[in-house]
Every structure is written in structure tokens, then in C-alpha cells.
Amino acid sequence: MQKFSVKSVAITTLAILSLTACNQGPIQTTEPDQIPTNDVIQSEPENEVKEIKEIVFEEETDLYIIDVVSPEINSYPELNQYIKAMIDNDISSFKEEVTNDEWYEQNIEDPMMRHGYYSRFEIITFTSKLFSAKFNNSIYYGGAAHPMSYTNVINYDLEKNKDFKIADLFIEESPYVAALSDFCINDFNFRISQGDEWLGDSGWIAEGAGPEESHFISFNLTAEGLLINFDPYQVAAYAAGPQEVLIPYSELQEILRDDLPLEFDYADYMYS
């Protein structure tokens, strides 16, 4: 059984608002194969009213439950198409996995033990030039001890109608991977020195935040800096939940491209 519903949320761009969809619990980072969420919306001082609709998709069978809430923004059809393609890709992958893999061919007598795919979004930044959002996804395989969680992100140039990947932010051939890795590892180790009980394994951190581009593909562009998202198991145990590191733009300004749609003065933000 499938069910769609739409909920509209009006956003006046004269104000700074907060929009956060309900989180679905802790969230392996993946990117869709083909494409055509302290959460602040930074809005341009325009007379336009931006409206965000919450698109709800629900599907329930004897084998699985799908429960997804995604955004749709008026006046941005290309962005909406991009978001829908990403969501559709994840739903399709989930269905294929739980229906075709022999490991999951089981008789699930308890409805509470059915497989499940859940997704909620957070809008991190929304200006006239930039849309940045995080999608917290959770997949549960019937009988497992806990869900497997991962994060998808969109950082979308609204003027050029293109999504930014991590490499697109930096000057070509610059050592951006090493810079991101060094900052994140130092930040995590600092937290350990301050008694963070969840980040007690420096070896785990060095591996999960080491100098590989794949470790930094989940990111959001914020006014304060580049927000790197680390899913459960990447730098700490599942119980620690997802982790984040905020890297001020000032720490990256020598290697950042100067034509990014960042409508804030990153020179004012310094790491302390």
C-alpha cells in the first residue's frame, strides 16, 4: 500500500528561520548512482516568500515498511527533480535488496520485525544562490539488533542548477583532502583530550577521517564553515551516533575556490 501526502510550510525570506524534520535515529555514507537537516535557514532579504512542502511517501507490505519525508521548494523545479531522483534511487535500492537477496528471504511473522527504510531531512542553508540539506536515512533489516544509518547530502547552486561535490569546492590540484583530514583528526583528538567518552579510539578516528576523499563526501555548506558529517561506525562506535566537524572557511581560504555561492564573509569566522 502506497500513500502520498503533502504538507506546506511557508517561509518568509525576511527572517532567519529554523526547519528540522523529525530525526529517525542515528544514521555508511552513499551517493546515488544517477541523479538528472541547530539547523538554520539563511534567507535573502527579498520580498519573495519561499514555500517548502513536506512530501510524505509511505509504502507498507508484508515484507517491508517505507516512510520518507522529503522537501519540495516552490520556484525551483530543477532542484526538486534532483531531490526526487536521489530519494527514488534510495527507495529502489532498498526494495531490490530486501526482495532479491536470499539472505532476506525469510518469513517475518511479527510485523514489528519487518524490514524498513526511513528518511527525514534537515535544511541547513537556504539563500537565493545556495540550498544545502542533509537527509538522515535509516535502514532496518528484520531481526537485526539495530538499524543501519547513513547520510545523504545536497549542496545545490540555485543559479547554475548543479550540485557541489567535495572536490568542486577547492582549487584544482590543491591538497584539500589532506587539509580536511588534518583538521578533523585534530578536532576529534581535542575532544578526546577534553573527556569525550564516545571518541576514545584515536586509531579508529585516524582510519575513518584519514586522507581519503570518500571520507568527506557527506558535507554541508553553512554560514560558519564547512560541516563534515561522519556516520556511525566511521570514527566511533554505533552507540556514539553520527559525528560532525565544523571547519571555518578561514581555515580553508587558501585552497577554496573564490566563485562559490557563499554569501557570507568567511574571513570573520576563526577557529578557536
Residue-wise DSSP of 149-174: EEEEEEEEETTTTEEPPGGGGB-TT-
Alpha-carbon distance of 81 to 88, in angstroms, equals 10
Confidence (pLDDT) at 126: 92
Tens of pLDDT along 181-227? Answer: 999 999 999 998 888 877 768 889 999 999 999 999 999 999 889 99
Percent of the chain at pLDDT exceeding 90? 54
In the chain, where does the domain assigned CATH 3.90.640.20 lie? 167-263
pLDDT at 162 > cutoff 70: yes
**CATH number for region 2-163:** 3.30.565.40
Whole-model pTM: value is 0.77
CA dihedral 140, 143, 144, 146 (to 10 degrees): 60
Alpha-carbon distance of 188 to 201, in angstroms, equals 10
pLDDT at 97 > cutoff 90: no
In the chain, where does the domain assigned CATH 3.30.565.40 lie? 2-163
One-character DSSP codes across 19-87: -BPPP-S-------S------EE---S-S-EEEEEEEEEEEE-SSEEEEEEEEEETT-HHHHHHHHHHH
Confidence (pLDDT) at 22: 36
pLDDT at 41 > cutoff 50: no
**CATH number for region 167-263:** 3.90.640.20
pLDDT at 15 > cutoff 50: no
Alpha-carbon distance of 140 to 46, in angstroms, equals 43
